[in-house]
Copies of this chain bind each other. A is one copy, B any other.
Amino acid sequence: MTQQPLSILTVGSLAFDTIQTPAGKADQVLGGSGNYFSIAASFYCPVEVVGVVGEDFPQTHLDWLSTRKIDVTGVQIAKGKTFHWVGSYDQNLNEAKTLSTALNVFEHFDPSLSAKNSKAPYLFLANIDPVLQQRVLDQVDSPRLVACDSMNFWIAGKPDELKATLKRVDILSLNEGEAYLLSGESNILKAADSIRKMGPSVLVIKRGEYGAMLFTSVGIFLAPAFPVTGVVDPTGAGDSFAGAFMGYLAQAGAHRDMAQASPKNWNQLLRRAVLAGSVMASFTVEDFSFRRMAKLGTKELAERQAALADMISLT
């Protein structure tokens, strides 16, 4: 009997993005952390996504998500328009410039979990208002593992609320600049120490094309990004990373208790999960929106994972 992988609940945005990069332009394409995360995680385990969209959001997309083991019954369809982000990247693809943000229906988003949602064994709180992240935490039963993401906007605007969230999560993922901002430190090791004291015992610091750093009680893992020949659009790379990272952990049945019970296995599992995240992000950046993930096959995914593992191997 093979055991069915446990599922991940994610609460995040489903959005339209309009993006300009050195490689081209995409007008009002599908995006949002909830989308990127769910699709990435769905390569590994069932996903439940909770979010809100407007009446202009294509039902065909929700239907397509459903075909990928992504339960979209938690996506509310509200009167009004869908969240719309307009951004651009210059030659430095590691940093997005926001040109406009129309929150639209997302402005009054108040996540309400179904009975099924509240029992999800894994929870990923995407980059939303930390107050909402806590409201979600109030509604879940007892997940095996809780991860969250955040961004400059909340770190600067709602630091106390964010810190209250951090006390309640196992894993935090942030990019390098956000780690400096949150910690007030200018050295990455000091920043990581400081942030881990805020709550999350596991910290992932994303460094764009330079990969990611994993900090746990066992030590540090330095994961590279998988180098690709053509980066088209970095949007969603971080959420795709998180999706594959959490998906990998869920597929393996990870539990926070492992940190004490079998630290070596826990650490090894987290390291492999980081590589899975890195690889998924490398696919996402190869095209606009999640077009590349939509075309991605499991064989191709496994091959790139093996290739990346080889690129850090000393044997």
Interface residue A227 (Cβ < 8 Å from any Cβ of B): yes
Question: Residues 142-163 of chain A: 1 if any B CB is under 8 Å from the residue's CB, otherwise 0?
Answer: 0000000000000000000000
Interface residue A221 (Cβ < 8 Å from any Cβ of B): yes
Q: Is the CB of B309 within 8 A of A187?
A: no
Residues 170 to 227 of chain A near chain B (Cβ within 8 Å): 186-190, 207, 210-211, 213, 219-222, 224, 227
Complex Cα spacing A220 to B227, Å: 9
Residue of B nearest to A222 (CB): B224
Q: Is the CB of B91 within 8 A of A220?
A: no
CB distance from A164 to the nearest CB of B (A): 29
> Which one, B219, B220, B268, contacts A314 given CB within 8 A?
B268
Please name all residues of chain B whose beta carbon is closer than 8 Å to the beta carbon of A275 when the two chains form the complex. Answer: 314
Complex Cα spacing A230 to B211, Å: 21
Please name all residues of chain B whose beta carbon is closer than 8 Å to the beta carbon of A189 when the two chains form the complex. Answer: 227-229
Complex Cα spacing A15 to B309, Å: 41
Complex Cα spacing A207 to B94, Å: 15
Interface residue A300 (Cβ < 8 Å from any Cβ of B): no
Q: Is the CB of B229 within 8 A of A190?
A: yes
Interface residue A310 (Cβ < 8 Å from any Cβ of B): yes
CB distance from A229 to the nearest CB of B (A): 5
Residue of B nearest to A264 (CB): B315
Q: Is the CB of A219 within 8 A of B310?
A: yes
Complex Cα spacing A311 to B220, Å: 6
> Which one, B207, B221, B268, contacts A312 given CB within 8 A?
B221
Residues 77 to 128 of chain A near chain B (Cβ within 8 Å): 91
Listed by A's residue number, 30 A-B pairs whose Cβ atoms lie within 8 Å are: A91-B186, A187-B229, A187-B230, A188-B227, A189-B227, A189-B229, A190-B229, A207-B210, A210-B210, A210-B211, A211-B222, A211-B224, A213-B227, A219-B310, A219-B311, A220-B227, A220-B311, A221-B311, A222-B224, A222-B227, A222-B312, A224-B224, A268-B314, A271-B313, A271-B314, A272-B314, A275-B314, A309-B314, A312-B312, A312-B314
Known: A91-B186, A271-B313. 18 other contacts (CB 8 A): A187-B229, A187-B231, A189-B227, A189-B228, A190-B229, A207-B210, A210-B210, A210-B211, A211-B222, A211-B224, A213-B227, A219-B310, A220-B311, A222-B227, A222-B311, A224-B224, A272-B314, A309-B314
